[in-house]
Amino acid sequence: MRRYLTTIFLILSGIVLVIGLSIDLYWSGIASWGLAFIFLIFATYFTKYIPNEKKNKK
């Protein structure tokens, strides 16, 4: 399951940006970019669980 977390967090980041920027509230832009940035950090963290095919062939 961990290998799919990168994709999940990237999709969540996009969804948060689309929804957050379409809502016209006072702090919605800052909040949505902040959440998207946090999701992108988590996505980069979980890239270490993506299997490497070159490493397995050796």
What is the reported pLDDT for 58?
Answer: 61
33/24: higher pLDDT: 33
Q: Is residue 33 part of a domain?
A: yes
Q: Is residue 31 part of a domain?
A: yes
Q: Is residue 57 part of a domain?
A: no
Structure tokens at 11: 């999709």
What is the reported pLDDT for 19?
Answer: 92
50/40: higher pLDDT: 40
Alpha helices by DSSP H, 1-58 = 5-22, 28-45, 53-57
Q: Is residue 24 part of a domain?
A: yes
pLDDT tens string 8-18: 999 999 999 99
CB atoms within 10 A of CB 20: 19
Number of domains in the chain: 1
Domain of residue 11: give its range: 2-50
For residues 42-54, average pLDDT: 85
Please choose, from the candidates 36, 50, 42, the residue with its C-alpha nearest in 3D space to the C-alpha of residue 4.
50
Please choose, from the candidates 43, 57, 53, the residue with its C-alpha nearest in 3D space to the C-alpha of residue 3.
43
CB atoms within 10 A of CB 51: 7
Q: Is residue 37 part of a domain?
A: yes
